[in-house]
Chain A
Amino acid sequence: MIERTPVLNLVTHAVLFIGLAIAFVPMWLVFVAATLSLQEINTPPISLLPGSHLWENLAEAWTRADLGVKLTNSLIMSVAVAAGKIALASITAFALVFFRFPGRMTAFWLIFITLMLPLEVRIVPTYAVAANVFSPYQTILDVTGLSWLWQQLTGAELALEWNLLNSYTGLVLPLVATATGTFLYRQFFLTVPEELMEAAKMDGAGPMRFFREILMPLSITNMAALFTIMFIYAWNQYLWPLLITTDRTHRGTAVMALRQLIPMSGDSTGGGVPDWNVAMAGCLIVVAPALLVVALMQRFFVRGLIASDK
């Protein structure tokens, strides 16, 4: 579409720039704060120009929050969540869209309902399950009297237990088990012409082959989008990692570690020293991988939006 409306162009650009400024100024302040020394940052007014202590602040934040370990943990968790999500979402959507089986609509609605139950809402039961994956089954056995029967027969107490606390599995699984990606994929699969599947059938390809060799390559932009969204979502998780990791030194995530950098009175680490410069430097480090993922994946989005040879 070609339009010649100079005034409108000006206005829209102005709006864009204002929006950019609103989004960018806090980031700028974080950056500036990360470059100041302890003295400079505690001298009002706040400086708007960067200082010269960036590297030492970064180094200080890195060692104090043990970011090497924490960033690795975050990375493992986020990649696992994103990859798990893509695998789960694509295959469930495939089943829902391309197969007719009894209970299809029930499955659809069950998945749909999980959209209304984000992790924060079901955090207590989720924690209980993570503490012992078998606890629902144990409860069923207890209530039905089967465990009593077992005890009578074998003499041993029936106690099923599989504990996910403090493990990557525990960190990742509850974040994977949601419906967002499934719906993204479902929408995409619904746009795939049915003839494509029929052509594959005529070519002799079975369902899994069709899924792997035709649907997956076609959904590459979908995948990139979902990967980015889920990566950021997992990266930014705070509450769940806080609950599930008891061994924070080895299993803690980067976002949790940030908390240790924030000066707070009565805190064991901060001790009330207002060294916001180090905290902000930590922020810069923690936000960098997420930015990197967006920057890298963005290329795929744009290509997906431009290429129309579907």
Chain B
Amino acid sequence: MADIDIRSVRKAYGKNQVVHGVDLSIRSGEFVVVLGPSGCGKSTLLRMIAGLEAITAGEIAIAGDVVNNLEPRERGCAMVFQNYALYPHMTVAENIGYGLKVAGLSKPERTARVETVAKSLGLSEYLDRKPGQLSGGQRQRVAMGRAMIREPKVFLFDEPLSNLDAKLRVQMRIEIRKLHNRLGTTSVFVTHDQVEAMTLADRVVVMNGGHIEQVGTPEEIYRNPASRFVAGFIGSPPMNLFDGRVTGPGEVQAHGIVLSVPHAGLKPGRPVTIGIRPEEVVLGAAGSNVASIDVDFSEELGSVRLLHGQVAGADFVIQVPATTAGPKIGRFSFEVPARAVHLFDAETGNRIGTAASGARAAA
């Protein structure tokens, strides 16, 4: 177990900057998920922690020791790769035990530890098989076993579940979380799947274009997105975002719809991006903050229904319980509770805070 300190870390490939100064502190025993779109530099960050990629500038410290110039094996990290990277010519037992073999442990000792790890992962019957004779889920487990056996200070995962089918992914996700609860090893998990991030993480790090956009618990990230990017990235269906401007104290307007908001000190005329979560609007209510939507089509997702349509010409999605009675297509009026309105600066994309919410986390 160890904490990880990432201080102003940058990465450039030649002239091409891919990580622009990341600061992040990971507490000992924490499960941190790095979430972001493809190409945002998540893997690069992870690989810099692992020692597979040189650090262009800044420092990474594991358990207080700066590891910039240490070899991967000296950092005490273990990694699970996206395509598992099992050694094809070795049996499951040899794959799991290879790290111990390199470390020079005796054969009986190795066998004993491999058996313990295999048992905890339900791999005991497959120890003599080659990776080619295993299913995707089993291979995944072997990769986990290989990482676990050395009892590392830090687990690093690079999209380990993305090659599995949906059902297995959910199952493995739960197993990874259980494993973490049992071992308590500091873990950094990279993914572009927000459900994985929300379900696994103690804290989520949202990255975009080589920057950290926000660091927070899954709930914070969902409730108080620090930027327009986070707001649009987290949540499925994503938050409705559209441009508007401040028209008075506690009042914004977009496409002719006037919304009163709890934000204080807004300068009239200031351009803003307005965000509204599809599930936070109340259908059919009358009162203030009312608008109407022309629904073109609706999607049934089992427990909920999505209504897709236009509000004053702009695309808008509303989520309602699937049990909602009445027609599914047509014109509906709905109410937006004032506390459900998120505002972002139109230029910087930063959240405009009410009282409690945080500002952009990136340095």
| Residues of chain A having any CB pair with chain B under 8 Å | 193, 195-196, 198-205, 209, 214, 217-218, 307-310
Task: For B78, list chain A residues within 8 Å (CB).
Answer: 202
* B99:A203 contact, CB within 8 angstroms: yes
Task: For B82, list chain A residues within 8 Å (CB).
Answer: 195
* B87:A198 contact, CB within 8 angstroms: no
Given contacts A195-B85, A196-B87, A218-B88, contact A202 B131 (CB under 8 A): no
- In the complex, what's the smallest C-beta–C-beta distance from B337 to chain A, in angstroms? 49
The answer for the CA separation of A217 and B83 in the assembled complex, in Å, is: 20
* B81:A195 contact, CB within 8 angstroms: yes
Among residues of B, the one whose C-beta sits closest to the C-beta of A194 is B85
A193, A201, A214: which contacts B52 (Cβ < 8 A)? A201
Size category of the B interface is 20 to 34
Known: A202-B50, A307-B132. 13 other contacts (CB 8 A): A195-B81, A195-B83, A198-B52, A198-B79, A199-B87, A199-B146, A200-B98, A202-B99, A203-B73, A204-B102, A209-B102, A309-B88, A310-B132
Task: For B83, list chain A residues within 8 Å (CB).
Answer: 193, 195
The 29 sampled A-B contact pairs (Cβ below 8 Å) are A193-B83, A193-B85, A195-B82, A195-B83, A195-B85, A196-B85, A199-B79, A199-B81, A200-B87, A201-B51, A201-B52, A201-B71, A201-B73, A202-B99, A203-B73, A203-B98, A204-B73, A209-B102, A217-B89, A218-B89, A307-B132, A308-B132, A309-B88, A309-B130, A309-B131, A309-B132, A309-B133, A310-B88, A310-B132
* B79:A202 contact, CB within 8 angstroms: yes
- Ordered nearest first, which 4 A-B pairs have the shortest CB separation? A309-B132, A204-B73, A195-B85, A199-B85
Task: For A217, list chain B residues within 8 Å (CB).
Answer: 89
B355 within 8 A of A: no
Task: For A310, list chain B residues within 8 Å (CB).
Answer: 88, 132
Given contacts A203-B146, A309-B131, A309-B133, contact A198 B103 (CB under 8 A): no
Task: For B88, list chain A residues within 8 Å (CB).
Answer: 218, 309-310
Task: For B34, list chain A residues within 8 Å (CB).
Answer: none
* B89:A204 contact, CB within 8 angstroms: no
Interface residues of B in 138-158 (CB under 8 A from A): 146, 150
* A201:B89 contact, CB within 8 angstroms: no
Task: For A308, list chain B residues within 8 Å (CB).
Answer: 132
Task: For B131, list chain A residues within 8 Å (CB).
Answer: 309
Given contacts A198-B52, A214-B87, A309-B88, contact A204 B81 (CB under 8 A): no
Q: Point out which of A205, A307, A308 has the most chain B C-beta atoms below 10 A from its C-beta.
A: A205
Task: For A309, list chain B residues within 8 Å (CB).
Answer: 88, 130-133
Binary contact track B29-53/A, C-beta < 8 Å → 1, others 0: 0000000000000000000001110
Total A-B Cβ pairs within 8 A:
63
* B85:A204 contact, CB within 8 angstroms: no
| Residues of chain B having any CB pair with chain A under 8 Å | 50-52, 71-73, 77-79, 81-83, 85-89, 98-99, 102-103, 130-133, 146, 150
- In the complex, what's the smallest C-beta–C-beta distance from A135 to chain B, in angstroms? 44
Among residues of A, the one whose C-beta sits closest to the C-beta of B132 is A309
Among residues of B, the one whose C-beta sits closest to the C-beta of A308 is B132
The answer for the CA separation of A204 and B103 in the assembled complex, in Å, is: 7
Task: For B98, list chain A residues within 8 Å (CB).
Answer: 200, 203, 205
Among residues of B, the one whose C-beta sits closest to the C-beta of A205 is B102
Task: For B52, list chain A residues within 8 Å (CB).
Answer: 198, 201-202
The answer for the CA separation of A310 and B99 in the assembled complex, in Å, is: 21
Task: For B72, list chain A residues within 8 Å (CB).
Answer: 198, 201-202, 204
Q: Point out which of B81, B83, B133 has the most chain A C-beta atoms below 10 A from its C-beta.
A: B81
Task: For B79, list chain A residues within 8 Å (CB).
Answer: 198-199, 202
Q: Point out which of A193, A199, A201, A309 has the most chain B C-beta atoms below 10 A from its C-beta.
A: A199
- In the complex, what's the smallest C-beta–C-beta distance from A102 to chain B, in angstroms? 16
- In the complex, what's the smallest C-beta–C-beta distance from B113 to chain A, in angstroms? 14
The answer for the CA separation of A251 and B132 in the assembled complex, in Å, is: 49
The answer for the CA separation of A198 and B132 in the assembled complex, in Å, is: 19
- In the complex, what's the smallest C-beta–C-beta distance from B362 to chain A, in angstroms? 28
- In the complex, what's the smallest C-beta–C-beta distance from B305 to chain A, in angstroms? 42
The answer for the CA separation of A193 and B87 in the assembled complex, in Å, is: 10
Task: For A205, list chain B residues within 8 Å (CB).
Answer: 98, 102
* B85:A203 contact, CB within 8 angstroms: no
The answer for the CA separation of A309 and B52 in the assembled complex, in Å, is: 26
The answer for the CA separation of A209 and B101 in the assembled complex, in Å, is: 11
Among residues of A, the one whose C-beta sits closest to the C-beta of B134 is A309
- In the complex, what's the smallest C-beta–C-beta distance from A308 to chain B, in angstroms? 8
